[in-house]
Chain A
Amino acid sequence: MSEPLLTVQHLTKTFGRGRSETTAVSEVSFTLAAGGSLGIVGESGSGKTTTARMIIGLERPSGGRIAFRGHDRTQPARSTKQFRERGRDIQIVFQDPYTSLDRRQRAGDCLAEILGVHFKLGRDETKRRVGELGELVGLDDRQLNAFPRALSGGQRQRVAIARALATEPEILILDEAVSALDVSIQAQILNLLSDIREKRGVSYLFISHDLAVIRQVTDDTIVMRRGSVVEQGTTADLLDNPRESYTRLLRDSVPREGWDPSTITARL
């Protein structure tokens, strides 16, 4: 097997000191293969988002190691230049499409700004690339010319995905990227992500609390609870034959016909 794209070893994050110290992430290890798609699933507060923020470099790990293609990136970038270099390896799409875009910037300008930071392009070339990115995520010229307030949640999330892809990263972290969207829009975005993965060969680190979503877009999954990995394996196997009681609990918590929430509460 070839060298993994992303290696995370014994990643740990504690907040606070002394008595108020809490461990958000504890000894989390996993690898992400080139072209792969890894899901991280768990309830709120299980440390999924903190893990993502450490990998992207917005949070400083208390322990452990993060490496991209063997290059260490455990500590957050120290300079704009370093952020820029690392930005071409890994990018992130956040949960809330309403606050993850600058409300005073047109969608197309947002993409053009990122392209301008990373590539030396003329005005026509920039315009062409913005159009290409728009096409990739299914936004037309009119939508690219609009301010975020004129776009729907799904369209905004498409802009955020295009912005993340503008640097041509090899890994895209999707931190609950479809959780704020309603179900039909969710399906559209998930299909879009599958298409992009096929076209661009980008790997996904897909963070969600939603098992149906995880099943649709990931190959492998790790289950986190209270900061630790409780189970990991291929997504289909893990969701069909969960070995851990917590994974079973998560699976059974999905509402369905004849579902009784009190049986879940009793097992918590």
Chain B
Amino acid sequence: MTVAVSVVAAAAAADDRLLAREARKLRRSGSLGVSGWIAIGALVVLGLVALLAPLIVPTDPNAVSLSDAYLPASGSHPLGTDASGRDLLSRLIMGSQTALVGPLLVVVASTILGTALALCAVWFGGWFDQAVVRVVDAIFAFPGLLLAILATALFGSGLTAAVAALSIAYIPYIARIVRSAALSERSLPYVAALRVQGVRGFVIATRHILPNVSGLIVANGTLSFGFVLMDLAGLSFIGLGVQPPTADWGAMVGEGMSGVLQQQPLEALSASLLIVITVASVNILGDRLTERSEAHS
């Protein structure tokens, strides 16, 4: 995990330096730019691999063969095998499913709940708005990972409890952004015009305010995806998330730790690298989308 963290940090720093100039240029044009399209390309490939994983794995990712532990790369095992003699490439491919599905569920759930909550708060205003702000602040005070660990302690290890807990933990991020954007949207004269025309509040909120803040919602969801992926991978790394023998990148980094000490770092490294590539891609894409939604508003 430390390997992953330092690589992520290095990638983030490189991203900042290399992309600062491009970002400045793009902020004006509002297009996604080369880096944005590379990120989309990487994510499309990862998504296709995850979708087709059962069809394209060379061998059964869970087939244990202790006599084949730590085999070097060969024709039958393109990346070699792990400590239990399982095919590394197959496990990486299968692992993409849990790596992508978990964050996707969290982002979709927290975005829908957070957006609905924020729009209600803005529309009804008054004490309801204040109550929503306080509740959201209270949730915000708990680190997502801590909440997820608590949930797994209460409901047992596994992806379900962690995803549910993180879905709640990520509501504040989206709710705050949508609330402030919708609040400034609501103060615009066109909303007053719609009101005095007798258009229903629900229609104003969903058909007028929501489309005008949708760019921000998508951008924020994309950025959250990377954070959730790290959270879930971290949870699997310490053994509370995805349970063995299911393949998962976070769990593979954890299982590969012993291999690192035995001069067999490939399992931990390859899984870390995939986490880094995925998180970096969604972050770059999220940044570009944020800039674009700012350029358009």
Q: Could you tell me which residues of chain B, from 157 to 205, have a CB within 8 Å of some CB in chain A?
A: 188-190, 192-201
Write out the residue numbers on chain A whose beta carbons fall within 8 Å of the beta carbon of B194.
102
Complex partner residue of A80 from B201, B208, B212, CB under 8 angstroms = B201
Q: Kindly state the separation between the CA atoms of A119 and B114 in the bound complex, as whole angstroms.
A: 35
Q: Which of A13-21, A86-94, A203-211, A217-225 contacts B (4 or more CB under 8 A)?
A: A86-94
Contact in complex: A83, B188 (CB < 8 Å): no
Whether B244 sits at the interface, judged by CB under 8 Å, is: no
B146 → chain A closest CB, angstroms: 39
Q: Which residue of A lies closest to B210 (CB)?
A: A104
Contact in complex: A58, B198 (CB < 8 Å): no
Q: Kindly state the separation between the CA atoms of A105 and B193 in the bound complex, as whole angstroms.
A: 14
Q: Which of A38-46, A110-118, A258-266 contacts B (4 or more CB under 8 A)?
A: A110-118
Whether B211 sits at the interface, judged by CB under 8 Å, is: yes
Contact in complex: B198, A118 (CB < 8 Å): yes
Q: Kindly state the separation between the CA atoms of A103 and B194 in the bound complex, as whole angstroms.
A: 13
Write out the residue numbers on chain B whose beta carbons fall within 8 Å of the beta carbon of A84.
197-198
Complex partner residue of A91 from B189, B197, B211, CB under 8 angstroms = B197
Write out the residue numbers on chain B whose beta carbons fall within 8 Å of the beta carbon of A86.
196, 198
Contact in complex: B208, A92 (CB < 8 Å): no
Complex partner residue of A94 from B192, B200, B211, B212, CB under 8 angstroms = B192
Contact in complex: A81, B198 (CB < 8 Å): yes
Complex partner residue of B198 from A85, A103, A104, A160, CB under 8 angstroms = A85
Write out the residue numbers on chain A whose beta carbons fall within 8 Å of the beta carbon of B189.
94-96, 99-100
Q: Kindly state the separation between the CA atoms of A85 and B193 in the bound complex, as whole angstroms.
A: 14
Write out the residue numbers on chain B whose beta carbons fall within 8 Å of the beta carbon of A95.
189
Write out the residue numbers on chain B whose beta carbons fall within 8 Å of the beta carbon of A100.
188-190, 193
A175 → chain B closest CB, angstroms: 9
Q: Which residue of A lies closest to B192 (CB)?
A: A58
Contact in complex: A101, B197 (CB < 8 Å): no
Write out the residue numbers on chain A whose beta carbons fall within 8 Å of the beta carbon of B190.
99-102
Q: Kindly state the separation between the CA atoms of A114 and B196 in the bound complex, as whole angstroms.
A: 11
Q: Which residue of B lies closest to A88 (CB)?
A: B198
B59 → chain A closest CB, angstroms: 51
Q: Which residue of A lies closest to B199 (CB)?
A: A117
Q: Which residue of B lies closest to A90 (CB)?
A: B196
Write out the residue numbers on chain B whose beta carbons fall within 8 Å of the beta carbon of A113.
199
Contact in complex: A103, B199 (CB < 8 Å): no
Q: Which residue of B lies closest to A92 (CB)?
A: B196
Whether A65 sits at the interface, judged by CB under 8 Å, is: no
Write out the residue numbers on chain B whose beta carbons fall within 8 Å of the beta carbon of A166.
197
Write out the residue numbers on chain A whose beta carbons fall within 8 Å of the beta carbon of B200.
80
A99 → chain B closest CB, angstroms: 5
Write out the residue numbers on chain B whose beta carbons fall within 8 Å of the beta carbon of A66.
none
Write out the residue numbers on chain A whose beta carbons fall within 8 Å of the beta carbon of B201.
80
Q: Kindly state the separation between the CA atoms of A96 and B196 in the bound complex, as whole angstroms.
A: 17
Q: Which residue of B lies closest to A94 (CB)?
A: B189
Contact in complex: A57, B196 (CB < 8 Å): yes
Write out the residue numbers on chain A whose beta carbons fall within 8 Å of the beta carbon of B195.
58, 83
Q: Could you tell me which residues of chain B, from 199 to 221, have a CB within 8 Å of some CB in chain A?
A: 199-201, 208, 211-212
A108 → chain B closest CB, angstroms: 15
Contact in complex: A102, B198 (CB < 8 Å): no
Contact in complex: B193, A160 (CB < 8 Å): yes
Whether A56 sits at the interface, judged by CB under 8 Å, is: yes
A43 → chain B closest CB, angstroms: 21
Whether A158 sits at the interface, judged by CB under 8 Å, is: no
Write out the residue numbers on chain B whose beta carbons fall within 8 Å of the beta carbon of A48.
none
Q: Which residue of A lies closest to B195 (CB)?
A: A83
Write out the residue numbers on chain A whose beta carbons fall within 8 Å of the beta carbon of B212.
102-104
Q: Kindly state the separation between the CA atoms of A164 and B196 in the bound complex, as whole angstroms.
A: 10
Contact in complex: B198, A117 (CB < 8 Å): yes
A99-B188, A104-B211 given; A83·B193 CB < 8 A: no
Contact in complex: A83, B198 (CB < 8 Å): yes
Q: Which residue of B lies closest to A166 (CB)?
A: B197
Write out the residue numbers on chain A whose beta carbons fall within 8 Å of the beta carbon of B192.
58, 94
Write out the residue numbers on chain B whose beta carbons fall within 8 Å of the beta carbon of A56.
196
B41 → chain A closest CB, angstroms: 29
Write out the residue numbers on chain B whose beta carbons fall within 8 Å of the beta carbon of A160.
193
A119 → chain B closest CB, angstroms: 12
Complex partner residue of B193 from A103, A117, A163, CB under 8 angstroms = A163
Write out the residue numbers on chain A whose beta carbons fall within 8 Å of the beta carbon of B197.
83-84, 87, 91, 114, 117-118, 163, 166-167
Q: Kindly state the separation between the CA atoms of A99 and B192 in the bound complex, as whole angstroms.
A: 11
Write out the residue numbers on chain A whose beta carbons fall within 8 Å of the beta carbon of B188.
99-100
Write out the residue numbers on chain A whose beta carbons fall within 8 Å of the beta carbon of B208.
102, 104-105
Contact in complex: A91, B198 (CB < 8 Å): no
Among all A-B residue pairs, the 5 with the closest Cβ atoms: A84-B198, A100-B189, A94-B189, A83-B198, A87-B198
- 11 A-B pairs (CB sep. < 8 Å): A84-B197, A86-B196, A87-B197, A95-B189, A100-B193, A102-B190, A114-B199, A117-B198, A118-B197, A163-B193, A163-B197
Known: A100-B190, A102-B212, A167-B198. 20 other contacts (CB 8 A): A58-B192, A58-B196, A80-B199, A81-B198, A83-B196, A83-B198, A84-B198, A85-B198, A86-B196, A87-B197, A95-B189, A96-B189, A99-B190, A100-B189, A102-B190, A104-B208, A104-B212, A114-B199, A117-B199, A160-B193
